[in-house]
Structure 1
Amino acid sequence: MVSERNRPYADAYWESRDGLRLHYRDYAGGADGRPPILCLPGLTRNARDYATVAERLAPDWRVLAIDFRGRGESQAAKDPMSYVPLTYLQDIEALLEDQKIDRFVAFGTSLGGIVTMLLASVERTRIAGTLLNDVGPEIEAAGLSRIRGYVGKNTWHPTWLHAARALADANADVYPDYTIEAWLAMAKRLYRLNSAGRIVLDYDMRIAEPFRVPGNEAGPDMWRTLDALAGRPALVLRGERSDILSEKTADAMALRLGGRAEVVTVPAVGHAPTLDEPTSIRAISRLLGKVLEPAPV
């Protein structure tokens, strides 16, 4: 077991505008003035999803891995109808204000990518670079249907191995090459041990309430929000087997983002790449290299 002293991050908190205590992991780094990297997870995920990528990038970069409200160590919302992208945007704006961050790189997976695009519409001049992980302005109907089928279902397991096997059964098409060790690692990211000794999902089941209302997944016209990222370093990662981001949408994103953007398909995975794949690692390195380059005149 890793002691608190030996952890590569510090647990830190900020307050939302409606008074919630929200959590992030702060991986210290970037002493040379590099902008910090904000890591925004998917709908049912949390800061642990970014542990490997954060440890890889620190100490060269400061990495802040976020728990959205109702996930991980962040407080659950009093009003479940606040579990929507526009509220998450306001929460991140409060974090930026709290930490006095005036320039940053945004990594957004799935829901986190939607929040990233919304951030671009209001914080364009502060965004130094963007990673959109298997998400875009248009979300495929099949993927949305699949997510609606499982989000908010309060399942539990007696052991970590049971949880891993359940994940393998449900997601074999998403990660066909995973071993039981990989499924166990995913279980540790998705679940927690509760006071009754059960392995339970680490999010407030009420996040499903607004998600099931058509239109709440993406808010406003997301193509217009994407346009705010045009001309800046950007990386669009797409899982080869994704049912959320189509190849057609990814190609259209590349055209609108311009010459400093790159679209990369991660082979043999669905929604969403974990950012630990060799293809993802190389693409992230290229993105951050562009962030460090002088802006074109």
Structure 2
Amino acid sequence: MCASASGTHRMAYWEWGDPDNDQVVMCVHGLTRTGRDFDHLAQPLAARYRVIAPDVVGRGRSDWLVDPAAYAIPQYVADMLVLLARLRPARLDWVGTSMGGLIALGLHGAQAMSALLRPARPGPALDAPMELPLGRVVLNDVGPALNLSGLQRISDYVGQAVIFDTFAQAVDYVRSVSAPFGDHSLADWQDISRHVFVEHDGKWQRHYDLRLSQAFARQADVDLDAAQALLWGAYESLPESVLILRGEHSDLLSVQAAHEMLRRNPHAQLVEVANVGHAPMLRSADQIDHIDHFLAG
């Protein structure tokens, strides 16, 4: 149960591994996806971690917000803090695809900012530390500087109210708009589509709140320089190693931005995924192995 300015909402999450394991890896999906994107990645990670993959509010099994203006990183960060309070991890590593990576930077930045600005108070205080520093972070085709043309491409389809008579038609649609995900078999495309389209009254429709597009369009009008400065500050101060995965043909994370990320954080490393755009789906053995080995140190 989470809260926004308009009331409460529930956030669903999927998990793998020992529920008593306090070593947690949070896997957070992209703008229109769900936590089930991490089904394949979770299998090897569950041997070491309690793997948690939320459906960010407005997607999948989670509730929709009353006010669509709240579909933004600050709300998502607040929801993650509620989930982390429930999980109580001793260590928190993070795998974030696109929006999921921005949520990680927002979470780290919010904690750093509050620690810096919080005034001293007299008298007794809570003994337990309020902050939980991020450990290792995987940023899947995302960073503090994003390509505007890639954002526009996503904006063009995110709010389309497409409805199909059959699941096969929905799969064909996902395959067309998600071609940058790379080459996949028909069975893979069916699996990729299964949790982002849902059957309702005999029709197949998107399994997310179409009003996401309203908030997405409004965020394009914010002061991008100021927003990027905050994201860069959070990225540069991440306390442990960072793995940047970049799709070779990504239109969201440019080559120049990825190399700037390497320059501005000495703990970062870059892996480019061949024949993929935005974003690697973390389903193939090579993509999974990169993350598994990185998180294992």
2:236 equivalent in structure 1: 227
Deviation track 1:99-121 (CA, whole Å, cap 9, x = no partner) reads 22353011111111111111121
Matched AA of 1:179: S
Which of the residues 97, 100, 105 maps onto 1:112? 100
Structure 1 runs of 4+ with >6 Å offset:
none
Matched residue, 1:201: 206
Among candidates 19, 41, 45, match of residue 33 of structure 2: 45
Contact 1:27/1:59 (CA < 8 Å) preserved in 2? no
- Deviation of 1:27 (Å): 1.4
Q: Which moved more, 1:48-57 or 1:112-121?
A: 48-57
**Residue ranges of structure 1 left out of the alignment (5+ in a row):** 1-13, 291-297
**Aligned-residue RMSD, C-alpha:** 2.0
Number of the residue aligned with 1:237: 245
* Kept after mapping to 1: 8 A contact 2:17/2:50: yes
8 Å Cα contact 2:181-2:279 kept in structure 1: no
- Tell me, in whole angstroms, the C-alpha distance in 2 between the residues paired with 1:56 and 1:193: 31
State how many pairs are aligned. Answer: 272
Q: Quote the residue 1:15 is aligned against.
A: 2
Aligned residue for 2:12, secondary structure, equals strand
2:283 maps to what in 1?
Answer: 276
| CA separation of 1:278 and 1:81: change in aligned 2, threshold 3 A | same
Aligned to 1:130: 137
1:165 to 172, 184, 188: 172
| 1:55 has 2:55 as partner | no
Residue type matched to 1:164 in 2? V
Name which of 190, 207, 210 aligns with 1:184. 190
Q: Which has the higher contact order (CA 8 A, sep 6+)?
A: 2
Q: 1:158-200 CA distances to partner (integer Å, 9 max, x unpaired)? A: 222111112223333x145223222212111321122x02111
- Structure 2 portions without partners, runs of 5+: 113-131
Counterpart residue type for residue 274 of structure 1: M
2:78 to 81, 85, 90: 90
Distance 2:49 2:106 in 1: 23
Aligned position for 1:29: 18
Q: CA deviation at 1:216?
A: 5.5
Contact 1:84 1:217 in 2 (8 A): no
Q: How far apart are the structure 2 equivalents of 1:176 and 1:283?
A: 17
* TM-score for both structures, normalised by structure 1: 0.85
The aligned residue for residue 72 of structure 1 is: 60
Matching residue's letter, 1:27: W
Provide the rounded CA distance (Å) in 2 between the counterparts of 1:215 and 1:224: 21
2:253 is aligned with 1:264: no
Aligned to 1:212, what secondary structure does the other structure show? helix
One-letter code aligned to 1:86? P
2:176 and 2:84 map into 1 onto residues whose CA distance is 39
Conserved 8 A contact 1:210-1:216: no
Bigger CA drift: 239-248 or 159-168? 159-168
- Structure 2 vs 1, CA of residues 91 and 240 (structure 1 numbering), >3 Å: closer, same or farther? same
Deviates more, 1:183-192 or 1:94-103: 94-103
Q: Residues 3 and 79 of structure 2 are in contact (CA less than 8 Å); yes or no, is this contact kept in structure 1? A: yes
Distance 2:251 2:81 in 1: 30
Aligned AA (2:242)? A
Separation (CA, whole Å) in 2 of partners of 1:110 and 1:93? 19
Partner of 2:120: none
Q: Match of 2:195, SS?
A: helix
Further displaced range: 185-194 or 237-246: 185-194
Measure how far apart 1:217 and its partner are.
10
Residue type at the aligned position of 2:249: R
Contact 1:16 1:22 in 2 (8 A): no
Question: CA separation in 2, counterparts of 1:152 and 1:251?
Answer: 32
TM-score by length of 2: 0.85
